[in-house]
């Protein structure tokens, strides 16, 4: 049981990491687009 809980926490952390990474990529795209306009 304990191992399963650890796996779930690890999965949540990975998901959070992907969310942050995705957000950074989106921001990078927006920033590049904005810079391209100027």
pLDDT of res. 4: 86
Flag whether the pTM goes above 0.75: no
- What confidence tens digit (pLDDT) does each residue in 1-38 have? 567 888 999 999 999 999 999 999 999 998 888 787 75
Distances (CA, A) of 23 to 1, 8, 26, 38: 33, 22, 5, 23
Long-range contacts (CB closer than 8 Å, 24 or more residues apart) made by 32-37 = none
**Structure tokens belonging to residue 8:** 């779930």
Joined together, the tokens standing for residue 26 give 């989106």
**CA–CA distance, 31 with 38 (Å, rounded to integer):** 11
Residue 1's pLDDT is 59
């Amino acid at each position: 049981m304990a191992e399963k809980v650890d796996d779930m926490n690890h999965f949540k952390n990975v998901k959070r990491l992907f969310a942050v990474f995705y957000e950074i990529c989106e921001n990078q795209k927006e920033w590049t687009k904005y810079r391209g306009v100027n």
